Chains A and B, each alone.
Chain A
């Protein structure tokens, strides 16, 4: 247990569905991240939130919509996804201090399959 939880752990959805991934951290961190990890590919940073403000959006398609209502919760809203969006989606949190220490703590991930 790292203190970061993600739900659901597995999700199968059709291309016309709308679903949301949820991430919650109990570590008192103020930075949260969404990563996408496709098979045989490196981690891709999708979004970064610092103190509930989005600071990074790495050219992610608009069918992925993040939401950070407070420092402890992060959502990824999904709609009209494509089969190539099937991947492991990892949430992470860290302290948002200027120190280069403070590792990221990861959740267990949501394994998403788009049919």
Chain B
């Protein structure tokens, strides 16, 4: 079974609007970490935001927030006030404490329209 599922291969959003990128995960471990990365066309993976499984509040980092719904096993990324520079691939990832392996989703390509 897939550990991380991103069901939106591509998304479009108008500049200055908010957009939600979906991510669901699968784990039986009570302790895990969830991450979002941005990959511009240059190729480098840029860490955006982290959510721990025991965190009571949704993580926020500037214009990025993570809508964490533990019972549904979802960790959607919300980008507010989209900017042209937000156009990129976005990857959801999970880390379990056993071992040092990170599991990545297939990514969502976001295009911000002027």
Contact = CB atoms under 8 A, between A and B. Distances in A.
A2 B44 contact: yes
Interface residues of A, number: 30
A2 B47 CA distance: 9
For chain B, give the interface size range. 20 to 34
A14 to B, nearest CB: 23
Interface stretch (B15-23, B64-72, B79-87, B93-101): B93-101
B77 to A, nearest CB: 14
Contact of A48 (B44, B91, B100): B100
Interface in A62-115: 88, 90, 92, 94, 96, 98-109, 111
B97 A100 contact: yes
Interface of B (DSSP majority class) = loop
Contact of B91 (A43, A105, A107, A111): A43
A100 B33 contact: yes
Task: Select the residue from A42, A96, A99, A111 with max chain B CB neighbours within 10 A.
Answer: A42
B25 to A, nearest CB: 12
Interface of A: 2, 31, 33, 37, 41-43, 45, 48, 50, 55-56, 88, 90, 92, 94, 96, 98-109, 111
28 contacts: A2-B44, A2-B46, A41-B106, A42-B106, A43-B91, A45-B101, A50-B100, A55-B99, A55-B100, A90-B45, A94-B102, A96-B100, A98-B97, A99-B97, A100-B32, A100-B52, A100-B53, A100-B96, A100-B97, A101-B33, A102-B33, A103-B47, A104-B47, A104-B93, A106-B37, A106-B45, A108-B42, A108-B43
